[in-house]
Amino acid sequence: MSTPVNAPRPPAAESVSITMITLVLPVPAIAGALWFAFADIGLGHRPETWSLLVPVVLAAAAYAYCEVAGFRAQPLPYGGDPAEVENRSWQAFNRAGFVRFVLCEAVFMVTIPIAFVVDSYWPILVGALLAVPLIAWECWPSLRNRRRFAASLEAGGAPSYLLGRTQDRL
């Protein structure tokens, strides 16, 4: 089922967008608050290489998981009320999205104790700069992400209505 580029987003996509904004905003807020914990040293000295490689490796692992398995779902069964099928599709999308979000946010969260161990702000900065774009790319209910998840739901041939219903675009 193809969707024109200028088709309106389903209402559920708007609520997921608000949820994702609410979930991603604490990352820069926490990074900003932790700046004051390291205020006496600023960015600090250049820490050991391992402390900067950990968030990079975690980001690569989170990205790999999200791209390979993060958009998989059980195909939908045939039949049912279209509104109910659409609701189930969005619930599955949200569940998978939260798993992807937790993995992407872990890239940042792991850097907090690392920063205190090496006494440098650099790991937090690297973690935040990797986690925020990763969350935006993998968790935002963009057309790309909805299409990938809809393809997984529709693998059995039943429509998911994740991209919207025909009557909504008329």
> Is 27 within 8 Å of 104 (Cβ atoms)?
no
Confidence at residue 168, expressed as pLDDT on a 0 to 100 scale: 52
> Is 100 within 8 Å of 18 (Cβ atoms)?
no
pLDDT tens digits, 132-155: 999 999 999 889 999 999 999 999
Q: What is the pTM of this model?
A: 0.83
pLDDT tens digits, 64-94: 999 999 899 999 988 888 888 888 999 999 9
Distance CA 80, CA 86 (A): 10
Confidence at residue 114, expressed as pLDDT on a 0 to 100 scale: 95
Give me the percent of the chain exceeding a pLDDT of 90: 57
